[in-house]
């Protein structure tokens, strides 16, 4: 396998979404609804699936409320916001989500068995040429492709939170991912206005492997009383110009998501990725960050404040 190129934007976007074919997004949570918005914003019909219709509808409603704030700021017309929301159809079955689509993007929790089950269901109804994209943050695309028996069209399409705002799409090439699939993934990135990087499958890819190191170290510093939550975050915000400190970012991403990544990387890569005790404790308490209203910060309508 050759070494991936540096960050590039590649053309050929005409191959991304064959005329009239929708995209399926499986999972309407924090990432799934944002990913649905990204595709809807470029005029693609999106079918948004979750385990029950209410959750899929909630995902679409979150797109609507997020866009309402952008309209309020005068950065999007109300008509465009309406058009984007209207392009997203919540659905209650994987068959309804995937029939006739050119692309499936799975954004389910970080559990390999769950993802395998989802893609087995997807394979029963999606067209034989549909790209099978997983938004996994760290799990092996090689294993996923092999276990579902469709390695050639399985590829990592790793988005970043919040998906409509973040510029990167990390494309992950498994051992069995075909070059035409990689080319289509590149074209998809271009079509949705993202810059892609290509990474050969490895635990945590490029982004999660690097990102969790800073987050976990910040938690260990908090545990050993080096500084407060706010001061650790300000260290990186003001001293390194990170848009958001590592603890606030963990709240944004979800403490459960970060814990799952760390546990996986610990198993695959060793001791340096052992999850800090404070992270496991907060997850056990149900303090998962912004989405539950509490993590390292308490989240209010005005934003995060130190707990
Ligand atoms: N839809 C479309 N646009 C939106 C939007 C939405 N729902 N919400 C906000 N925007 C736009 C705003 O209009 C604004 O546009 P502008 O730059 O033209 O003014 C822009 O996005 C920024 O929004 P805000 O002004 O409201 O917010 P901030 O400037 O405070 O930025 C932030 C918020 C983008 C979250 C910034 O703090 C940031 O970049 N934080 C770091 C995020 C990060 O690192 N994410 C990666 C996490 S790791 C991950 O996701 C991987 C996963 O696998 C775990």
CATH at 124? 3.40.50.720
Among the listed residues 148, 217, 144, 156, the one whose alpha carbon sits nearest the alpha carbon of residue 181: 156
Cis peptide bond N-terminal to 14, omega within 30: no
Establish whether residue 157 lines the binding site of ligand 1, counting it when its CB lies within 6 angstroms of any ligand atom.
Answer: no
Question: Could you tell me if the CB of 112 is within 6 A of ligand 1?
Answer: no
Q: Is 288 helix (H, G, I), strand (E, B) or coil?
A: coil
Residue 305 forms part of a structural domain: no
Instruction: Note the pLDDT of residue 5.
Output: 44
Is 213 in the same domain as 278? yes
Other Cβ atoms less than 10 A from the Cβ of 13: the count is 17
Give the per-residue pLDDT at 163.
Answer: 98
Q: Is 296 in the pocket of ligand 1 (CB under 6 A)?
A: no
Residue 64 Cα to ligand 1 midpoint, Å, equals 16
pLDDT recorded at residue 110 = 93
- Cα gap 139→162, rounded to integer Å: 20
Token look-up 């005068």 returns: 74
User: Does the beta carbon of 257 sit less than 6 angstroms from any atom of ligand 1?
Assistant: yes
- For atom 12 of ligand 1, which residue has the closest CA? 70
Euclidean distance between CA atoms 68 and 9, whole angstroms: 30
Residues 231 and 88 in one domain: no
The H-or-E segment that residue 127 falls in is none
| Residue 1 within a domain | no
Determine whether 241 is exposed, middle or buried from the number of CB atoms within 10 Å of its CB (0-12, 13-18, 19+): exposed
Q: How far is the CA of 165 from the centre of ligand 1 (A)?
A: 5
The mean pLDDT value of the chain amounts to 94
The reported pLDDT for the residue numbered 307 is 85
Helix (H) or strand (E) holding 84: helix 78-86
Same domain, yes or no, for 70 and 88?
Answer: yes
Q: pTM of the predicted model, to two decimals?
A: 0.93
User: How far is the C-alpha of 81 from the C-alpha of 305, rounded, in Å?
Assistant: 30
pLDDT tens sequence across 34-66: 999 999 999 999 999 999 999 999 999 999 999
| C-alpha–C-alpha distance, residues 129 and 12, integer Å | 17
> In this structure, which residue's CA is closest to atom 19 in ligand 1?
75
**Does ligand 1 have an atom closer than 6 angstroms to the CB of 255?**
no
User: Is the residue at 299 inside a domain?
Assistant: no
Residue 96 shares a structural domain with residue 150: yes
State the distance from the centre of ligand 1 to the C-alpha of 94, rounded, in angstroms: 30
Backbone phi and psi for residue 147, each to the nearest 5 degrees, phi listed first: -70, -30
Question: Which residue's structure tokens are 């209203």?
Answer: 293
| 151, part of any domain | yes
Nearest to 44 by CA among 63, 22, 67, 61: 22
Task: Give the tokens for residue 14.
Answer: 């005409």
Which of 149, 184, 200 is at the close of a domain?
Answer: 200
Domain boundary among 171, 200, 229: 200
What's the whole-number mean pLDDT along residues 267-277?
Answer: 97
Identify the three-state secondary structure at position 133. Answer: strand
Question: Given the structure tokens 């067209």, which residue do they identify?
Answer: 127
**Closest residue by Cα to residue 296 from 251, 232, 245, 256:** 251
Among all chains, which residue has been given the structure tokens 């190191």?
213
Q: Is 205 in the pocket of ligand 1 (CB under 6 A)?
A: no
Ligand 1 nearest-atom number relative to CA 257: 54
**Does residue 116 share a domain with residue 55?**
yes
User: 4 lies in a domain?
Assistant: no
With a 6 Å cutoff on the Cβ, whether 75 touches ligand 1 is: yes
E strands of the chain, at which residues? 23-26, 46-49, 88-91, 103-106, 131-134, 154-158, 168-173, 195-200, 297-300, 303-306
Does the CB atom of residue 236 touch ligand 1 within 6 A?
no
pLDDT above 50: residue 136: yes
Put residue 226 in one of left, alpha, beta given phi > 0 → left and psi -120 to 50 → alpha: alpha
**Residue 133 forms part of a structural domain:** yes
For range 75-94, the mean pLDDT: 98
Q: What is the pLDDT of residue 17?
A: 66
Looking at the fold, whether 122 and 256 belong to one and the same domain comes out as no
Claim to verify: residue 195 and residue 229 sit in the same structural domain: no
Q: Does one domain contain both 150 and 74?
A: yes
Residue at 7 is within a domain: no
| 220 and 132 assigned to the same domain | no
| CATH number where 227 lies | 1.10.1040.10
In a domain, 84, yes or no: yes
Are 94 and 188 found together in one domain? yes
Range of the domain at 140: 13-200
Rounded to an integer, what distance in angstroms lies between the CA atom of residue 104 and that of residue 66? 23
Q: Which atom of ligand 1 is nearest to the CA of 242?
A: 41
Name the token pair of 236. 């990186």
pLDDT digits (tens, 9 = 90+) for 176-224: 999 999 999 999 999 999 999 999 999 999 999 999 999 999 999 999 9
Number of domains in the chain: 2
Residue 171 CB–ligand 1 contact under 6 Å: no
pLDDT in tens, 241-262: 999 999 999 999 999 999 999 9
CA atoms within 13 A on the CB side of 278: 16
Percentage of residues of the chain with pLDDT beyond 70: 94
Tens-digit pLDDT profile for residues 110-130: 999 999 999 999 999 999 999
Boundary-marking domain end, from 168, 200, 232: 200
Does residue 238 have its Cβ closer than 6 Å to ligand 1? no
Residues 187 and 80 in one domain: yes
Q: Do 98 and 18 fall within a single domain? A: yes
């Amino acid at each position: 396998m050759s070494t991936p190129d540096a960050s590039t934007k590649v053309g050929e976007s005409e191959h991304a979404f064959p005329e009239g074919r929708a995209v399926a997004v499986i999972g309407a949570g924090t990432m799934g609804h944002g990913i649905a918005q990204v595709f809807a914003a470029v005029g693609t019909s999106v079918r948004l699936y979750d385990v029950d219709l209410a959750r899929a509808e909630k995902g679409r409603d979150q797109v609507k409320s997020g866009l309402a704030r952008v309209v309020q700021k005068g950065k999007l017309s109300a008509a465009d916001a309406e058009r984007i929301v209207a392009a997203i159809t919540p659905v209650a079955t994987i068959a309804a989500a995937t029939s006739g689509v050119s692309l499936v993007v799975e954004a389910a929790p970080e559990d390999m068995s769950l993802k395998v089950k989802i893609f087995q269901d997807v394979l029963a109804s999606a067209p034989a040429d549909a790209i099978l994209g997983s938004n996994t943050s760290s799990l092996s695309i090689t294993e996923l492709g092999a276990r579902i028996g469709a390695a050639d069209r399985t590829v990592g399409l790793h988005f970043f939170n919040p998906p409509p705002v973040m510029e990167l799409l990390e494309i992950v090439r498994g051992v069995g991912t075909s070059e035409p699939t990689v080319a289509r993934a590149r074209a998809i990135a271009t079509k949705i206005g993202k810059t892609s990087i290509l990474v050969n499958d490895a635990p945590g890819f490029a982004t999660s492997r690097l990102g969790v190191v800073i987050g976990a170290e910040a938690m260990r510093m908090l545990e050993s009383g080096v500084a407060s939550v706010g001061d650790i975050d300000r260290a990186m915000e003001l001293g390194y110009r990170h848009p958001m400190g590592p603890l606030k970012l963990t709240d944004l991403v979800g403490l459960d998501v970060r814990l799952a990544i760390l546990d996986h990387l610990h198993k695959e890569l060793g001791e340096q990725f052992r999850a800090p005790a404070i992270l496991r404790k907060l997850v056990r308490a149900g303090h998962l960050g912004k989405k539950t209203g509490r993590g390292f910060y308490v989240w209010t309508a005005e934003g995060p404040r130190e707990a």
